[in-house]
Amino acid sequence: HREELGRKVSVLNPFGLVEDGQDQFNPLDYIRPHELARDVALVADGLVKPEQGDGAHFSEMARQLVAAAIEVIVTQEEPNRRNLIAVTDLLLSANLDGTLEAWAENADLVGHRPAQTAATILRAGDRERGSIQTAVSKAFEWMQSDNMRHFLARSSFRMDDLLDDRVDLFIAVPLDQVDKQAIFMRLFINLVLGTVVRQDGRRKVKAPILLVLDEFVRMGRMEQIMNIANVAAGAGVEALFVTQDTGQVEKAYGPNDARSIFGSCITKRVFNLNDIETAEWAARHLGESTVYSQQIREGKAPNEGRDFSYSEQRQKLMTAEQITGMKADDLLLLVGNRSPLKANQNLYFKSKAYRGRFDQNPLN
């Protein structure tokens, strides 16, 4: 249907889930020569998932090493080799230490950032260096299949086409690959948001970009998600976050940032809840109503009239138990400061309005 409207539809489908994968995507095409450090840093941030506690230092050093390798590849390799495949082969080679020594000794050739990063890692002890290399290996585990290597060799579309409202992008990943490919999806979302935010007001999107993030917490914490809460909405990105419960968001982002994410969502839809804590969160956001009651007391003597008394009491519009007990097709809708609504879900595969406008679900 989208193609019939004259739009380019690119399906990032390296595993052939929907059909034979034709589209390809080289993340390094995002990098602009005149903004080398800025763009390389964003790609590296998407590849290396931040760790907490003792692992934080090693993940940060791994991110710096990945950034250094990307910079060397995009500035030193032939154009057809400027891709993540070359970066991976370099970083996971048996001769990495020799490569780092060459970088450290040739700053004029590779650039001061890769040279300084190489020198820092070479000064580290064997155990620390081993932990850094382990973190780097984790960042590229998702690329080990032949499907992904072919998929990442080049790009069949331009990210900037999103700004001109020319392309629809879909990512199709098998269910058994969702966790393994979380880093790829994290990287892709980083680049989509970066494409919009890095315009710095010089260029506006032609039409708002709808970014649908199903189970986004499985990709780990992404700083670009926080940009949605702060600046991306004004830059032309409308995000649809999907999560099973509020606890997952708080675990990935912490209570304060989770509150910012929820607060940035003008519209909230609640349905099919099984988690009592999320139901209590929804009950609080639904608010309260005032219940007025009248009591009548008959006089004891025949000549005594009735005595009327009035009271009012605040109570929740719905309790957590009532929310978890809703019917499967019921939905709660909270829109800004407006009164909440309880409605029926408009399921696309049952709606006449969408008939003939969607492909069959390949998983059914």
Cα gap 29→44, rounded to integer Å: 13
Question: Residue 1's pLDDT is what?
Answer: 66
Question: Residue 152's pLDDT is what?
Answer: 94
Cα gap 248→254, rounded to integer Å: 10
Question: Residue 208's pLDDT is what?
Answer: 85
Question: Residue 289's pLDDT is what?
Answer: 82
| pLDDT > 70 in the chain, percent | 94
Question: Residue 127's pLDDT is what?
Answer: 92
Asked whether the beta carbons of 332 and 271 are under 8 A apart, the reply is: yes
Average pLDDT over residues 291-301: 76
Q: What is the pLDDT of residues 200-253, one digit of tens each?
A: 656 778 888 888 888 888 877 877 787 776 666 677 888 889 999 999 999 989
Asked whether the beta carbons of 337 and 286 are under 8 A apart, the reply is: no
Question: Residue 210's pLDDT is what?
Answer: 87
Question: Residue 233's pLDDT is what?
Answer: 63
CATH class of the domain at 1-25+155-265? alpha beta
- Domain regions of the chain by residue span: 1-25+155-265, 29-145, 270-364
Cα gap 265→287, rounded to integer Å: 17
Residue 363 has pLDDT above 90, yes or no: no
Residue 299 has pLDDT above 70, yes or no: no
Question: Residue 310's pLDDT is what?
Answer: 79
Q: Kind and range of the H or E element at 163?
A: none
| pLDDT > 90 in the chain, percent | 48
Per DSSP, the chain holds a count of helices (H) and strands (E) of 14, 9
Residue 294 has pLDDT above 80, yes or no: no
User: What are 344's two structure tokens?
Assistant: 């029926």
Q: What is the pLDDT of residues 67-102, one digit of tens each?
A: 999 999 999 999 999 999 999 999 999 999 999 999
pLDDT band for position 364 (cuts 50, 70, 90): low
Q: What is the pLDDT of residues 119-177, one digit of tens each?
A: 999 999 999 999 999 999 999 999 988 888 889 999 998 888 888 888 899 888 887 88
Asked whether the beta carbons of 331 and 271 are under 8 A apart, the reply is: yes
Decide: residue 200, CB within 10 A, 0-12 exposed, 13-18 middle, 19+ buried. Answer: exposed
pLDDT band for position 21 (cuts 50, 70, 90): low
Question: Residue 31's pLDDT is what?
Answer: 95
Q: What is the pLDDT of residues 333-343, one digit of tens each?
A: 999 889 999 99
Cα gap 137→131, rounded to integer Å: 10
Backbone angles phi, psi at 36, to 5 degrees: -55, -55
Cα gap 161→208, rounded to integer Å: 13
Q: Which of 231, 280, 283, 285 is nearest to 262 (CA)?
A: 285
Q: Which of 66, 40, 43 is nearest to 135 (CA)?
A: 66
Question: Residue 20's pLDDT is what?
Answer: 63
pTM score: 0.78
Question: Residue 15's pLDDT is what?
Answer: 86
Residue 295 has pLDDT above 70, yes or no: yes
Question: Residue 35's pLDDT is what?
Answer: 93
Q: What is the pLDDT of residues 153-164, one digit of tens each?
A: 999 988 888 888
Average pLDDT over residues 323-346: 92
Backbone angles phi, psi at 120, to 5 degrees: -65, -45
Question: Residue 291's pLDDT is what?
Answer: 79
Query: Residue 3 is which amino acid?
Result: E
Decide: residue 43, CB within 10 A, 0-12 exposed, 13-18 middle, 19+ buried. Answer: buried
Average pLDDT, the chain: 87
Cα gap 112→212, rounded to integer Å: 39
For 293, other C-beta atoms within 10 Å of its C-beta total 9
Question: Residue 209's pLDDT is what?
Answer: 87
Average pLDDT over residues 47-73: 92
> Tokens 């080799």 appear where?
81
Q: Which of 152, 213, 194, 206 is nearest to 43 (CA)?
A: 194
Average pLDDT over residues 296-320: 78
User: Where is pLDDT greater, at 261 or 356?
Assistant: 261
Q: Kind and range of the H or E element at 87?
A: helix 84-91
Cα gap 183→139, rounded to integer Å: 7
Sorted by sequence, the CB contacts under 8 Å of residue 99 that are 6+ apart come out as 90, 93, 118
